[in-house]
Amino acid sequence: MISDRSYNSILKHCSFTENTNSNECDYALYYATVVEFGQVNGYSIYSPLCVPKTNQTKFMHGGILVEEEDPCTESYAEIYYNRPDVQRAMHANLTSIPYKWTVCNEILFKYWDWGNSDHSMLPTYKELMAAGLRIWVFSGDTDSVVPVTATRLSISHLNLTVKTRWYPWYSGNQVGGWTEVYEGLTFATVRGAGHEVPVLQPERALILLRSFLAGKELPRSY
């Protein structure tokens, strides 16, 4: 989705370990994400975008793909959850915060104490596995924000012993994704799903959940 030139420029100028980026890093990131990436939903790259109409309360989407998922669901939710009657029914916003509810709260993001936050979840994974808890990590394979490639790279740093080698798992008579089982952790991809797996692939998400709760590996055949 971005050029090799931008990819190599990001690797060259960005360390991702410092609190601030260099000007060269900022420009490389800007060019890749704004100029090259295009108007694509990064959380589900093959889904159509939600296009707002002029009155901002009704939405339409282009017929790029024929699918059940409505790309404007998030927009409907923001309108619904900001209705005073809905908030009263949910006992929400009892403190009368001065800004609207949004799916991603930029105010919290801006003022969060990132300096005291962990830079990685891997130490937490190790603690949970040492306590005997089962961990399943899954990624939708059309998500560019938390992509399968990055998740696989992160898991590789745990240096876990493989119990069951990589294989395709099934949902109905179709491949639902791919999985590999390690000592203490299972990794699975969900084919055709984005960041929010149940939205685009509800049946495959249910199989994932049922298998986890049952303590079984994902089905190898249909």
Could you read off the pLDDT tens digit of each residue along the chain, which spans 222 residues?
999 999 999 999 998 777 778 999 999 999 999 999 999 999 999 988 888 665 544 444 444 444 456 888 888 999 999 999 999 999 999 898 888 898 887 777 777 776 777 778 899 999 999 999 999 999 999 999 999 999 999 999 999 999 999 999 999 999 999 999 999 999 999 999 999 999 889 999 999 999 999 999 999 986
Tell me, yes or no, whether 155 and 178 share the same domain. yes
Same domain, 76 and 147: no
What is the 8-class DSSP label of residue 158?
T
Q: How many domains does the chain have?
A: 3
pTM for the complete prediction? Answer: 0.80
If asked whether residues 104 and 125 sit together in one domain, one would say: no
Q: What pLDDT does 153 receive?
A: 94
Question: Where in the sequence is the domain holding 31, given as residue range(s)?
Answer: 4-35
3-state SS, residue 17: coil
The DSSP code for 161 is: P
Question: What three-state secondary structure class fits 181?
Answer: strand
Query: Is the same domain home to 83 and 144?
Result: no
Tell which of 80, 111, 142 closes a domain: 111
Predicted pLDDT of residue 109: 73
Do 151 and 85 sit in the same domain of this protein? no
| pLDDT of 86 | 96
Residue 221 lies in a domain: no
Helix intervals (H) in the chain: 4-13, 23-30, 73-81, 84-89, 106-111, 122-130, 148-156, 197-200, 202-214
Q: Is residue 145 part of a domain?
A: yes
Query: Do residues 107 and 131 share a domain?
Result: no
> Residue 174 domain-assigned?
yes
Give the per-residue pLDDT at 56.
Answer: 47
Question: How far lies 179's CA from each of 27, 40, 56, 164, 169, in Å?
Answer: 37, 27, 42, 9, 7
pLDDT number for residue 74: 84
**Buried b or exposed e, range 167-185, using 16+ CB within 10 angstroms:** ebbbbeeeebbbbbbbebb
Residue 129 sits in the same domain as residue 210: yes
